Amino acid sequence: MSKREGEKEIEEVTTLTETKAAGEEVFGVAHIFASFNDTFVHVTDLSGRETLCRVTGGMKVKADRDEASPYAAMLAAQDCAQKCKDLGVTALHIKMRATGGNRTKSPGPGAQAALRALARAGMKIGRIEDVTPIPTDSTRRKSGRRGRRL
């Protein structure tokens, strides 16, 4: 739409609603999902409802095979840390997740690198929690009766 002469352009500014005293930490939650195909670093507010920043390893590297690499995870975490600082978040609780379910319960290669990069970027780390979904009983796993033969 075209602008009229009397209208002003409205600029959106994203900030956190809480303003803290000096020296007090403003916490967010970093959800790190590390599979063997990609690494997601997703920062939300404490409730998890409002997304502050979401960067994946695939957004940082060109080659598909490098999406899950520690280097891509490190770049993604550095981006998120910078955005968090701009928004005023100074500390993060970490929720680490692997693929889980009836697939692998161990996190991919980018998990350690992402956590380390967040800490190195100057973010204070609160609680670290593993939130990989573990089934109490599950559907049948992929691969046949005699398993995957190499």
Which band of pLDDT confidence, cut at 50, 70 and 90, is reported for residue 34? very high
Please give the pLDDT value at position 8.
72
Q: Hey, what are 51's tokens?
A: 């997304």
pLDDT in tens, 77-125: 999 999 999 999 999 999 999 999 999 999 999 999 999 999 999 999 9
Inter-residue contact 114 to 74 (CB < 8 Å): yes
DSSP line for 31-65: EEEE-SS-EEEEEE-TTS-SEEEEEEGGGT-SSGG
Mean pLDDT of 35-53: 95
Beta strands in the chain (DSSP E): 27-34, 39-44, 51-56, 91-97, 124-130
Query: Distances from the Cα of 27 to the Cαs of 45, 78, 122, 127, 150, in angstroms?
Result: 7, 17, 13, 11, 47
* Count of all residues that appear for the chain in the document: 150
147's CB contacts (< 8 A; 6+ apart) are: none
